Structure 1
Amino acid sequence: MTDLLDAVLAAHGGVRRWHELSSVRASIVTGGQLFGKKGQPQDPAPRRMTVALHRQWASVQPFGAPDQRTSFSPHRVAIEKLDGRVVAERLDPASSFAGHGSGTSWDPLHRAFFNGYAVWTYLTSPFLLAMPGFSVVEADPLEADGETWRCLRATFPPEVVSHSAVQDLYFGADFLLRRHDYQGELVGGGSAAQYVHDYVEADGIRLPTKRRAYLRDDTGRPDFDALMVSIDFADVRFE
C-alpha cells in the first residue's frame, strides 16, 4: 500500500476495525437525472440497503413492491420476495449492458444491478482499495476550494464490478474522501465527478452521508447543472 492509502484507511476508522465487521445497513434516498433518462424514475421514499464488506454483494428493499428486495453479485442479479422466492433474475448481468448509450432504457434488473455495484462501491470505500487484486498509486492532486486534494488512482480487478476499471479518489488534508471520479462504462453515461459531504462515525467507521455525482465536460470540469445521481444515507449501522 502507498503511504497515502495507509493514512486514508486510518482516518476512516482503520483496517483492524474494518476487518472486525462483516456488513453495513443504511437507510438510503436516491435521486438525480440518470434514473429518469433510463426509464426507471426514482421516487423519494427511503429504502433499506444492506452491503457485505468483504465480498461483492448487496441488497435493497423494498424494490418494485413492498414485499420485494434485490440480490446483487457480479455474476447474478435478482428481484426476490422477502421469503426468497425469485421474481426475476439475470445471470452474467454485466453483459446485458453491451451497446448501451446514455439514452438506452433500462429494465428493473438493469436498475437493480447498477444500484448494487454502485452503492457497494460507495459503502466499502476507501477500504475496498486494500482488497486483493486492487492496484493503487498516487496520482496528480486536485486544487479545489482553496485546498489541495491528494489523489489515489485505483485499478479495479476484473472480478469486481464497478463504474470503470480505473477510478480516482481525492482526499483532503484530514485524509477523508472529498471527491470520486469515474467513467460510466456500463451505463454509457460519460464521466462523472462525485462529491461527498457530511461525515458521520458509525461503529468506529467514518463515512460520508451525502453523495452528489455530476457529469464532467471534455476538460474534466463538473457541470453542476447536470446532477446525475444524489444519494443520502441515514441510520448507518455496521455489524
Structure 2
Amino acid sequence: MTDIAGNLERVRAAIEHAAIKAGRDPRSVALMAVSKTYPADDVATAIATGQLLFGENRVQEAQKKFPALRTAHPSMKLHLIGPLQTNKAVDAVSTFDAIHSLDRPKLMQALCDAMAKTGKRPNCFLQVNTGREPQKAGAMPEDVDSFVVHARENFKLPIVGLMCIPPADADPAPHFALLAALAKKNNLPGLSMGMSHDYEIAIAHGATHVRVGSAIFGART
C-alpha cells in the first residue's frame, strides 16, 4: 500500500530544501498533487494531510472524481494540466480553477466563449513547446510574445503564466530556464514546470507550480 502521507511529507521537505537552496521562500512554490488515474480515496488521503491543490489531465475524470470531494472540502483547488479539446471548454471552465494547457488561438476563442457563458474565469497558463517536439502541443518559443498579446487583448483571457513539459530524454534545465526568461519578458508571474523526476531543478529555475504525481501516489498501473 502506498504511503501517501509519508510521500507528501518527503516531497514537501524536498521542495522546501530546493527553494531555500535557490534563495527563495518555500511558500512561493505551490505543490500540485497530480491525481490522474488515482482513485478518489487516494485524493481524500492526501487532503487529510493538508494537500488542497490537485491536477488532473482529463475533464471527464475530474468531473467524476471531484464533486463530492469539493463539497466536503470547499477550499481545495483543481487545475487542468492535460490537453483540452475545444468542445470541452465549457466543462473545463466550469470544473477547474486554472487551465495550464492553453496552446492555440482556436482554444482561446473557445475558452473566451465558455467564460462568457458560465461566468467563471479560471486562470490560464500558456503551454510552450520548449523542445519543439512535433507530437507535443504548445506554442513555439518565438511565438509566445504574440500569443500572450492575442490572448489578453483579443480574448481578454486571464493569462497568469507559462507551462512546459521538457522532452523526456533531455536535460530539463535549459527548458526551464527558457520558460522563465519568456515569462519574465512577458511580465507573467506563473511558471508551471517540474514533475516527479525534476521538480527540484524546476524550483531552482523559478517554478511557482510543480506537478507531482507518482512521487506522491506511487507508480501508475
With normalisation by structure 1, the TM-score equals 0.34
Please identify which structure carries the higher strand content: 1
With normalisation by structure 2, the TM-score equals 0.36
Please identify which structure carries the higher helix content: 2
